[in-house]
Amino acid sequence: MRVVAQGTFDILHPGHLHYFREGKAMGEELHVIIARGSNVTHKDQPVLPDRQRRDMVGALEMVDQAHLGHTEDIFVPIERIDPDIILLGHDQHHDESDIEAALAERGIDCSVERASRMEPRYNGELFSTGQIIDRICTERC
């Protein structure tokens, strides 16, 4: 089984590791697609360049291959990877039914699932890039 996870991954944090571990547990191969900064329109642009974010994700043990997203069509790497499962992050803005419809339209046969939310074990743990940035600004700016 081949699993695809995708996202921006601007500042790697424990929530990302949880997402990747969950994806890896679902199959033999975990491919991660890193969104190009030029395609990120639903939130602030990434601080780190595309290739640097890809290299950071690709260095993680549970990731078999890290790919940069396509500049114009987000489904191009999906067609190339040919996954069995696309795993969405628990808080990603994508709608499963919209993705399933687009996959069916292109003849891509894979399921779309949503990752679980990582629950904090200790007070003060941060699991999102936004939370980390907010804490840095509060404590260091």
74-86: average pLDDT: 94
- Residue 100 CB burial class (10 angstroms; 0-12, 13-18, ≥19): middle
In this structure, how many other beta carbons lie within 10 angstroms of the beta carbon of residue 109?
A: 10
Per-residue pLDDT tens for 121-135? 888 888 888 888 888
Total of domains in the chain:
1
pLDDT of residue 33: 97
Please check if 16 is assigned to a binding site: yes
Q: Please indicate if the annotation marks 7 as binding a ligand.
A: no
Check: CB of residue 34 under 8 Å from CB of residue 9. Answer: yes
Whole-number pLDDT of residue 131: 85
Instruction: Check which CATH number belongs to the domain holding 113 and give it.
Output: 3.40.50.620
- The sign one gets for the Cα dihedral 19, 23, 115, 71 is positive
Residue 109: DSSP 8-state: -
33 close to 69: Cβ distance less than 8 angstroms: yes
Residue with tokens 């743990």: 125
Lowest mean pLDDT among 39-43, 50-54, 124-128: 39-43
DSSP lists the bridge partners of residue 4 as 31, 86
User: What mean pLDDT is predicted for residues 105-118?
Assistant: 92
pLDDT band at 53 (very low <50, low <70, confident <90, very high): very high
By residue range, what is the domain housing residue 96? 2-140
91 marked ligand binding residue? yes
pLDDT tens for 19-33 read: 999 999 999 999 999
d(CA 95, CA 55): 28
User: Residues of the chain with pLDDT > 70: what percent?
Assistant: 100
Contacts of 120 (CB under 8 A, 6+ apart): 127
On whether 70 is known to bind a ligand per the annotation, the reply is no
- Beta-carbon neighbour count of residue 15 at 10 Å? 21
User: Any binding-site annotation on 13?
Assistant: yes
